[in-house]
Structures are given as structure tokens and as C-alpha cells.
Amino acid sequence: MDCKVTTSMTSIETSPQTKSEPATLGAPGARLALYLPTPPLIPASESCETDLDIPGLIQHNGNHWRKILSILAKLATPADRRWQDYRDIELLQRNEIISFADHLLSNADWHLVAGKASWQRLGFEPSNFSPLDDEGRVLVRDNVLLTPYPDYRQFPNRMVEQVRRLVKAES
């Protein structure tokens, strides 16, 4: 995937030569894919797929992206690690990818489709999914989860733990 340079920042897009490839941020071949509607701005000095500076990404994109990346880190951090350290050093380097495409990535073990805009863009009908718990805010079918948008109010820690247990238990 190529990045399109806009002044000192890069916005994630596919190039004309790679239109069939999804716009992604993170590790190609990652086992955990998060689907979001809108990409962040990437500092022009960084690659879209590798060598991401997560603290810098947060600095350039603000609190909104801090929340997204923190929730993703909480879902993906190994049990013996602090999620804050994992977020700032390892997130999106090997095991996670964020996709802004209109189809699922073929090689991910788990697909977390975040928010109704992403559900609709990817053509998922919530009635075809089963609730993960009694509250029914996370829906599951096979290896696809329809989740709330990754914001602390919509995706609180107790919900993070439910999703984490599922994706870790079956990984």
C-alpha cells in the first residue's frame, strides 16, 4: 500500500496501482483485524504498515485515536504485559491491523467490526449474529464480532474483557 502525502502528514489511501488492496494500518498478516470507518493522519516520516510511532500517532490525531488504540491494546496485550507499554511499543507491529476497506481481510483470525458505520459498509446485518452476553452490545458469528465503536463510553472495560476472553481463548 502506498501513502498519499499531504503537506507534513500522510493520509492512508491505496495508490492507483494497488486499488484492489485494502487501506490498512499495521501488520500485514495480523491475526486480529479492527475495522474502522476513518483513518488517522500519519506523519509523513512513517510507513503506513511498519515502524509506526504510536505515541506520535496519538499526538498528531488527539484523544479520539488515543482511545481507539488504547482499547485495541487492551484487547491484544499478552497477559503478562501492561497494556500501556504494549500500546506504545508493540501495537500494530505484528499481531494487529486496522482496516478501512469495504471487505474483510482474508488472513485475520478475528475480525472486530467497530460501530454501525463499519457494520453497514461491510454489509453485515446484526440480526444474523448472536449476542456475546445478556446485554447484546457485542454480536458474534464465527470469527466476526460486531462491536461498538472503540470509545470508553461505548466500549467500557467490562466489554473489553468479554471480547478479550473470546479472542484469546480461541486463538
Of 11-15, 88-92, 108-112, 118-122, the range with the lowest mean pLDDT is 11-15
At residue 3, the pLDDT reads 39
Nearest to 74 by CA among 135, 171, 155, 147: 155
Tell me if 98 sits within 8 A of 34, measured CB to CB: yes
**pLDDT score recorded for residue 51:** 66
Q: What is the pLDDT of residue 168?
A: 87
For residues 20 and 76, the model is more confident at 76
Give me the pLDDT at residue 118, please: 97
Q: What is the pLDDT of residue 21?
A: 37
Rg (the chain; Cα; Å): 15
**Cell digits of residue 142:** 464465527
State residue 47's pLDDT score: 54
pLDDT for the residue 19? 34
pLDDT in tens, 142-160: 999 999 999 999 999 999 9
- Within 13 A of 129's CA, how many CA atoms are on the CB side? 21
What does pTM read for this prediction?
A: 0.84
Could you read off the pLDDT of 31-74 as tens digits, one per residue?
Answer: 999 999 999 987 666 655 556 889 999 999 999 999 999 999 99
| Residues whose CB is less than 8 angstroms from the CB of residue 131 and which lie 6 or more positions away in sequence, other chains included | 137, 138, 139, 140
Report which of residues 14 and 40 the model is more confident about. Answer: 40
Give the pLDDT confidence score for residue 170 in this predicted structure.
63
The answer to whether 75 and 109 have CB atoms below 8 angstroms apart is no
Q: What is the pLDDT of residues 99-140, one digit of tens each?
A: 999 999 999 999 999 999 999 999 999 999 999 988 899 999
Which whole-number Å values give the CA distances from 166 to 6, 13, 51, 56, 103, in the listed order?
39, 32, 29, 31, 22
pLDDT bucket at 20, cuts 50 / 70 / 90? very low
